[in-house]
Chain A
Amino acid sequence: MADTRAISIQALNKYYGSFHALKNVTLTVEKGERIVICGPSGSGKSTLIRCINGLEDHQSGSLTVDGVTLSDEAAVLRQVRARAGMVFQHFNLYPHLSVLDNCTLSPTCTLRLDKATARRQAMELLSRVGMVDHAGKFPSQLSGGQQQRAAIARSLCMMPDIMLFDEPTSALDPESIGEVLDVMTDLARDGMTMVCVTHEMGFARKAADRIVFMDAGQILEINTPEAFFATPETDRARTFINQVIGH
């Protein structure tokens, strides 16, 4: 039987020194599934998503991405990162390269696509995120929302099976948030496996298959958006929902 799991996390524990950042986290993400991870700040959401592509190491438990079990070996990390693309809170674009060069650097150097193919693919993906007109600009010439859309296109250019979003709209103004969420919703509709750490509950309601609620390094609830918002199981989740929906 074919493995339908995109990500499988078993009893994951992560420490920063003596601080227990992730406590026995267990979570399975099916292929094509859209997961939103939410929770108060400091709850370990970002740490968890950064563990998935090995930007953070973990001390115990296991993490499997598309059948590859993470270790600290360089070859394994490369395999995992080839499958899971990452979008960062602060975009992390290369400041010295144009948007187009940001998108073609790794495809030509790492995937060894020829320049013309990489360019064509980059322009297709840039048009998908509405950034074709800005392909020749440098990141410093773009608004936050434009930078984040460029970063999403850059990540897609590596042809990942899974997209990880680490608070992609937290550094943006309200207007930009909308344009980035539209791109993400479009991706979700397209069937991309997605794990998003976000406070955007509107997006969670619209695009997520399941919502994972974390607090203090633990997963407290995993539920469908309808059930999560209507009948949260824990007091902690109820308080959180009231706070984020309340304004």
Chain B
Amino acid sequence: MTESRPLHSVVLVKQVPDTHNVTGDVMTKDGTMNRNALPAIFNPEDLNALEMALQIKERTGGTVTVITMGPPKAAAILRESLFRGADKVVLLTDRKFAGADTLATSYALTCAIRKIGDYDLVLAGRQAIDGDTAQVGPQTAEKLGIPQITYAEQIVELTSTHVTVQRALDSGSEIVRCKMPVLMTVVGSANTPRPANVRRQMERKLAATPLEYAAIRKDWPEFETDEALDAYLAARDLRIPVWSAEAIGATEGSIGLAGSPTQVHKVNFVVLESAESKTITPDQEGIAAMVAELVREYIVG
């Protein structure tokens, strides 16, 4: 079913606060959120995108390159990508990227993908759980000038020129065939992401960006200088490259806050209106009284 040449995939991933598991510690007394109390995780659907890319590589050969844009600590999900099977990873980080909305983010990612150059497929999770916008994928495809397949669930066929994909829509499903290169956004039902490979994890646990060298040298005092550590990591292909705005040739006016057409006008803390309310005891009498009242008010018939 698959007659293809080696395919090169670029996977876009994001480190996100784990908003699905908000616990008591996260909320402060005045109703604001303590962001630091939220663990940072690999955006779930980005793991599905990585898994899809790894499965494609297993079928056709080729490479899987993972890019993330974020603060220096986002290197953690790049290491996780290496443990799972990514060939190359890149951290896009620069203070100038800060405050980017989806348009500015897609521009920076586009510059990075162009720098990588040779690709057949770009994959990303359908959406990130911290914003749920699902916009960065299609916006990146538009800037790359390539078609997009959103809600990708299954690769039906791969040839040397075309990919056939099943899309999962709320309203049903669809099978589309598209010429490569193409960008796909992948849904959570696509696959079960593989765990880290133990051997790869052993081999690559030291993989790091130069931004992390100071912290690493605290644990490994035998590396007396950053240069010594750098030489050690570079020799073992464990140095994670860091690309700045300048390195990807991004125009200043198109990145970060300046490149973001959307602005936050105001933020309101949610004030819950206290409805006129009754506390019902969870016993036969309490429930019966409540039901009787609802019947009287024609709420239930």
State whether these chains interact.
no
List A residues at the B interface (Cβ < 8 Å).
none
List B residues at the A interface (Cβ < 8 Å).
none
